[in-house]
Amino acid sequence: MSERVVLHYFNGRGKMEAVRWLLAAAGVQFEEVFLTKREEYEKLLNDGALMFQQVPLVEIDGMQLVQSKAILNYIAGKYSLYGKDLKERAMIDMYSEGVSDLMDLVIMYPLTPPENKQKYLSNIEQKAKDRFLPVFEKGLGNSQFLVGNQLSHADVHLLEVTLMLQELLPTILSRFPKIQAFQEKMKALPTISKFLQPGSARKPPPHEAYVKTVKEVLSHLFK
Amino acid sequence: MSDKVVLHYFNGRGKMESIRWLLAAAGVQFEEVFLTKREQYEKLLSDGALMFQQVPLVEIDGMQLVQSKAILNYIAGKYNLYGKDLKERAMIDMYSEGASDLMDLIMMYPFKPAEHKQTHLSTIEQKAKDRFLPVFEKGLADSHFLVGNQLSRADVHLLEVTLMLQELLPTILSTFPKIQAFQEKMKALPTISKFLQPGSARKPGQSLVKSMFLQR
């Protein structure tokens, strides 16, 4: 049984980036196989590797895991990033699901038609400032971490989404000093600092070539 | 600290129904507070009960849980419906997320304008038959349950979604004999049988559309 962790996805962020972040934060080495042609996707399908015909796919500990939440839950559980008991896990899940909702909004931005982009961006800004960021600002009240005074999946997720937000809206954290301080402390953690350096597995913001590849490989979704 | 489990939602299925199913399957008693007026939703907001300004909200074990996946994960963990180890949990999560994707498709149906309903129904049918049901049929090849030879949340979600499917497409399971047999065995389990009887907390289909717009 191979000990390697192998990620199968496009050469871009999408639904796999949160998985890359969590593995990196946990200090876990992994390899990546990038989908560039439809034939590669079809081979994965024919091999029966994709339970619901979808990527992300992560090969880990003898399993072929799909469904990003299943993958993230497994990694968090295995590498002690899921709190110390069920109640801490519930808090971590609440924060993570909130981050995930915000991330879904940000991920859709490059796929919106040009004429809708400005309005969509305003919607992201308003939801971030009204619904999401105040919750994390409050959650970081007295601690460096969101739950249980130790690093969890929720913290890694929060760092990821706030960095993504700043790429689109550079001053978005101006009224959220605790989140700013949180970012600085997180970035200083060794595994995370390494992931933020050039040459790591971290992917750049979506660009034309990425969107084009996704649309070609998953052509059945974009008819 | 109250031991009561209290659900806050509309008087309908929506995002709370899976939670009702799971609590019922686990044999857990719960109460419900139904949102019928905007003022009630605004009170929950100003009380700070809704972390992200959204329902479902479940009060349980001194916590005010929101985000349906967080709620379901907690109930599954607490009542031993989440497998015996991390790997079983991963399998359960994969099946559950798949069931959830299918459920999301079905839940969109009543919100579609009349002229799009037939197309959407065809999409549900095609995705169910091509993408989802074959996976569960295969997963049940050797067992009454999807994972680890014991009841898990994945089984409860699968029963829920296949019953929902049959409400829209009555013959959808005709080529899936293992899922049919699975349904019969699940329905015979005491807690689930009880939930399927009239007068239980189970909500009828199609009841939700207008009341959900309270939140917007």
Instruction: Please count the structural domains in chain A.
Output: 2
Residues A59 and A116 in one domain: no
pLDDT category of residue A3 using cuts at 50, 70 and 90: confident
Does A33 contact B at CB distance below 8 Å? no
Let me know if residue A48 belongs to a domain.
Answer: yes
Whether residue A6 contacts residue A31, with contact meaning beta carbons closer than 8 Å, is answered with yes
Mean pLDDT over residues B2-22, rounded?
93
Residues A143 and A208 in one domain: no
- Residue of A157, A214, A207 lying closest to A40 (CA atoms): A214
Q: pLDDT for A46-92, tens place per residue?
A: 999 999 999 999 999 999 999 999 999 999 999 999 999 999 999 99
**Is A69–B69 a contact, with Cβ atoms under 8 angstroms apart?**
yes
Whether residue A9 contacts residue A55, with contact meaning beta carbons closer than 8 Å, is answered with yes
- Rounded Cα distance between B32 and B24, Å, is 13
pLDDT category of residue B216 using cuts at 50, 70 and 90: very low
Q: pLDDT for A89-99, tens place per residue?
A: 999 999 999 99
B3 pLDDT above the threshold of 70: yes
Gap from A98 CA to chain B (nearest CA, Å): 7
- Residue of A142, A179, A178, A181 lying closest to A157 (CA atoms): A179
The number of angstroms, rounded, from the C-alpha of A19 to the middle of its chain's C-alpha atoms is 6
pLDDT of res. A222: 76
pLDDT category of residue A110 using cuts at 50, 70 and 90: confident
Residues A32 and A95 in one domain: no
Gap from A107 CA to chain B (nearest CA, Å): 18
Let me know if residue A1 belongs to a domain.
Answer: no
Residues A125 and A32 in one domain: no
Mean pLDDT of chain A: 95
Residues A39 and A73 in one domain: yes
Residues A12 and A106 in one domain: no
Q: Which CA distances in Å does B72 have to A165, B34, B65, B68?
A: 29, 19, 10, 6
- The CATH number linked to A205 is 3.40.30.10
pLDDT category of residue B212 using cuts at 50, 70 and 90: low
Mean pLDDT over residues A202-218, rounded?
89
Residues 73-92 of B with CB under 8 A from A: 73-74, 77-78, 86-87, 89-91
Contacts of B135 in chain A (CB under 8 A): 51-52
Residues A182 and A202 in one domain: no
Mean pLDDT over residues A7-32, rounded?
96
Residues A35 and A70 in one domain: yes
Residues A161 and A217 in one domain: no
Contacts of A86 in chain B (CB under 8 A): 74, 77-78
Let me know if residue A148 belongs to a domain.
Answer: yes
pLDDT category of residue B1 using cuts at 50, 70 and 90: very low
pLDDT of res. A185: 97
Does A61 contact B at CB distance below 8 Å? yes
Sheet containing B6-9: give its strands across.
Answer: B31-34, B6-9, B57-60, B63-66
Gap from B93 CA to chain A (nearest CA, Å): 5
A2 pLDDT above the threshold of 50: yes
pLDDT of res. B85: 97
Does B147 contact A at CB distance below 8 Å? no
Q: What is the ipTM of this complex?
A: 0.93
Does B97 contact A at CB distance below 8 Å? yes
Gap from B197 CA to chain A (nearest CA, Å): 31
- Rounded Cα distance between A96 and A154, Å, is 5
A174 residue type, one letter:
S
pLDDT of res. A105: 93
**Is B74–A52 a contact, with Cβ atoms under 8 angstroms apart?**
no
**Is A89–B73 a contact, with Cβ atoms under 8 angstroms apart?**
yes
Let me know if residue A172 belongs to a domain.
Answer: yes
Contacts of A94 in chain B (CB under 8 A): 51, 65-67, 70
Lowest mean pLDDT among A95-104, A202-211, B120-129: A202-211
- A63-66 vs A57-60, strand pairing mode: antiparallel
Does A206 contact B at CB distance below 8 Å? no
| DSSP states of A36-83 | -SHHHHHHHHHTT--TTS-S-EEEETTEEEESHHHHHHHHHHHTT-S-
Nearest to A90 among B70, B132, B135 (CB): B70
Mean pLDDT over residues B21-37, rounded?
97
Let me know if residue A75 belongs to a domain.
Answer: yes
Does A132 contact B at CB distance below 8 Å? yes
Residues A75 and A90 in one domain: no
- The CATH number linked to A101 is 1.20.1050.10
Size of interface A-B (CB pairs under 8 A): 80
Of A210 and A187, the structure prediction assigns the larger pLDDT to: A187
Contacts of B94 in chain A (CB under 8 A): 51, 65-67, 70
Residues A133 and A216 in one domain: no
Nearest to A94 among B53, B65, B135 (CB): B65
Mean pLDDT over residues A186-203, rounded?
97
Mean pLDDT over residues B44-52, rounded?
95
Q: How many CB atoms lie within 10 A of CB B54?
A: 18
Residues A21 and A107 in one domain: no
SS3 A32: strand
Let me know if residue A184 belongs to a domain.
Answer: yes
pLDDT of res. A179: 98
- Rounded Cα distance between A3 and A6, Å, is 10
Nearest to A67 among B52, B53, B93 (CB): B93
Let me know if residue A28 belongs to a domain.
Answer: yes
Q: pLDDT for B127-154, tens place per residue?
A: 999 999 999 999 999 999 999 999 999 9
Let me know if residue A144 belongs to a domain.
Answer: yes
Whether residue A186 contacts residue A213, with contact meaning beta carbons closer than 8 Å, is answered with no
Mean pLDDT of chain B: 94
- Provide the domain limits for residue A142: 86-188
Q: How far apart are the first and last CA of chain A?
A: 40
| DSSP states of A102-149 | HHHHHHHGGGS-GGGHHHHHHHHHHHIIIIIHHHHHHHTTTSSSSSTT
Mean pLDDT over residues B97-108, rounded?
95
